[in-house]
Structure 1
């Protein structure tokens, strides 16, 4: 760590201690969260645990009635999971790459992220894992495709495999049962790069469209809104025509997406802005309306104005209130719909992989949770499925949850852990 990063880290550490005493005692969660008044941070609260990984038989803790085992090990920063119709499990291995620091805070942030194993050289590949005997542990591994540009989202439609690279969507021909894709692929859509780099993908229920999450470049439009054009949005790609458009906007960093099957409604989890306090504003789970605007960067939650941003009253008046708060800075990334009777003790609802905070004095997230649904809507408080990714003193992380998916047997969950370099499998005990 150079002297600038060290100095900023020391000041940031002092800010953490000062702000911890004023931190809220409960999280802002649910349909009607209590959101503390914004407290602008001149120096951002910067707190991330040192990456430690799992040693020996140490593993996460599962909820009563459930068990957890490693489906796959020895990956390099696994982020996202796609289960193919034949039961093969694909894992995108990618990592945020360093860029030249421009501000004092950039030095401290990059040094902290290196220590937390959150930045470095990206593997840029997708691997295929196959559990041939159905015992919940993959026996074979293949490099499905490599030399991509920070691959993340994946989708399969009618013999074509789609990859959400940070710079756009690429299509490959696919033959069922293939261990590897052939050829360079065909670029269908271009996305701007930098900032929030993940590009999640999901196919529409009728298999005619693909949706892609594209996060903002900066926290609150810090480099001007022209730099944010086409970002902080969910895009829609029509597969027949090849035309792409923005489907919904004002979503600072929409990552995981899932369909609620009874209503055919698209849902997403969104990482909200930093620098206003431990619980302000909360990250959220929300349904996504075509043409909807969700407030970023002008306001958050129920049209609460962020006065750090030059305002647009008309857009604030249009802003849609999210459906369900997930707590401040949980970094909720993974999302999948879990049907009833998938796991004992859990009904139907959304499963969320919470990667974990950095911009708060007491850490939050670092767990996989379940939000119950009834009649197509969230219907109760969140419940923990998997936890134990943090040391009790918050100094170390053994793992960090990211992508989640229903397992090939439809009676388990898979979760990517990009610090432990594991794909965890949760099933009935």
Structure 2
């Protein structure tokens, strides 16, 4: 019996030409010195202090119930244990020790059942935690993840469902690649033996976490570079299993990116049609601000309005005519526990000196301390900062 030949799918029509004005602007990097602390601004009633210096490429933080702090250093490929043993608010050299090393691009940290997990470039390591903070010899928990490429920092957290969630960024700026695990969030079984692509189309989502009340998973994605000052915006997404968040073809609320070629779109559909089937962002922030980490605030040291809200570390731009980021931002949530806006919280790391932009801090990791204050790192000068509320009535 003769069969009707399939109808060939038409070639996707070309898009109109698009021209972007782009700028490479890397502010002059300055070392931290104590006098620069006065440049930093926080909301009324808050105070910012330096808890430690000389930490090197200080990235992710993990605070233990006993006040011990694990710190990953991406460039050095190691993990340190810090603890303010004498309670003076400072972590001196004698109160810090290296507890793991030789882990390429060590970044994300998470703990479960007395074990520390470290997300490195292509491997997730696991170590037993001793009472004094020391770690056992690292063992491979899961392996064979995508190459680092352009985005080697891995975000990782154990989820409330008992699975390990890890985000692996794209190896390039704005092109799809053959490895399906790139530009995704992965969900890994508790034994590390199998995993699934939980969500895709996420260029580089390092900071993420679950809302303490609703359980919704929120993540902060970095948009593509070299598309102009304001395209694409940085995104805050509700990350849902099985959803595609559009990168590299779409940004924000399913907007087609005019500067990405249509040739890589699967299925030979138009960019608009492809974007219509993706999931749009929940909130947007200034382009190129570069979110590195985030944390939900569940403590009681800050005023009640901050309870169950979120803090984000924006490391800062390098390809925008007026720099963005270089700050800790705050995500407000309404009475229904829905995010409403993103606003600066700790600012002042970047400033203009005549015609020259200068900066003295690239913020990276952010965490809640045991007393409810907030910690964050500067991976440029190796500073650990602490923000406390000192305004009296809350």
- How would you bin the TM-score normalised by the shorter chain? 0.7 to 0.9
Deviations 1:68-104 (A, max 9, x none): 111121011111111123221111111xxxxxxxxxx
- Once the 2 structures are TM-superposed, how far is the Cα of residue 133 of structure 1 from its aligned partner? 3.5
Say yes or no: does 1:141 pair with 2:96. yes
Q: Which residue of 1 aligns with 2:209?
A: 258
Q: Which residue of 2 aligns with 1:400?
A: 362
Note if 1:211 corresponds to 2:165. Answer: yes
- Cα distance, 1:39–1:367 mapped onto 2, change above 3 Å: farther
- Tell me the residue number matched to 2:182: 231
CA contact under 8 A between 1:372 and 1:378: conserved in structure 2? yes
Alignment of 1:129 with 2:82, yes or no, is yes
SS of residue in 1 equivalent to 2:365 = strand
Moved more, 155-164 or 384-393: 384-393
Q: 5+ residue gaps in structure 1? A: 1-37, 95-121
Q: Is 1:275 the counterpart of 2:226 in the alignment?
A: yes
Paired position in structure 2 for 1:75 = 55
Find the aligned partners of 2:177 and 2:59 in 1 and give their Cα distance. Answer: 29
Partner of 2:20: 41
The aligned residue for residue 31 of structure 1 is: none
Q: Which residue of 2 aligns with 1:322?
A: 281
Quote the offset at 1:127 in angstroms. Answer: 0.8
User: Could you tell me the TM-score, scaled by structure 2's length?
Assistant: 0.86
In terms of Rg, which structure is larger?
2
Contact 2:249 2:257 in 1 (8 A): yes
Name the residue aligned to 1:426: 387
1:390/1:396 contact within 8 Å kept: yes
Question: Aligned partners of 2:320, 2:247: CA distance in 1, in Å?
Answer: 20
Say if 2:254 is the partner of 1:297.
no
Question: In 2, Cα distance between the equivalents of 1:346 and 1:40?
Answer: 44
Task: Give the 3-state SS of the residue equivalent to 1:58 in structure 2.
Answer: helix
- Structure 1's 65 and 345: CA in aligned 2 closer, same or farther, altered over 3 A? farther
- 1:309 alignment counterpart: 261
Q: TM-score normalized by structure 1?
A: 0.79
**Residue 301 (structure 1) shift:** 1.5
- Decide whether aligned partners of structure 1 residues 41 and 298 sit closer, same or farther in structure 2, where only a CA change above 3 A counts: same
Post-superposition CA distance 1:281-329 (Å, at most 9, x none): 1101111001111001121122222242223436423210110101111
TM-superposed CA distance for 1:340, in Å, is 6.5
What's the RMSD between the two structures over aligned residues? 2.0
Maintained 8 Å contact 1:39/1:277: no
Query: How far 1:187 sits from its partner (Å)?
Result: 4.0
| Structure 2 runs not aligned, ≥5 long | 1-16
42, 48, 73: which is aligned to 1:93? 73
1:54 aligned to 17, 20, 32, which one?
32
Deviation at 1:64, TM superposition (A): 1.5
Q: 1:152 to 1:365 in 2, by over 3 A?
A: same
1:413 aligns with 2:374: yes
Aligned mate of 1:199, from 125, 143, 154: 154
Contact 1:66 1:344 (C-alpha < 8 Å) held by counterparts: no
| 3-state secondary structure, aligned to 1:382 | strand
Secondary structure at 2:236 match in 1: strand
Q: Distance between the aligned counterparts of 1:238 and 1:301, measured in 2? A: 31
Q: For 1:365 and 1:136, locate their aligned partners in 2 and report how far apart those are by CA, in whole Å.
A: 27
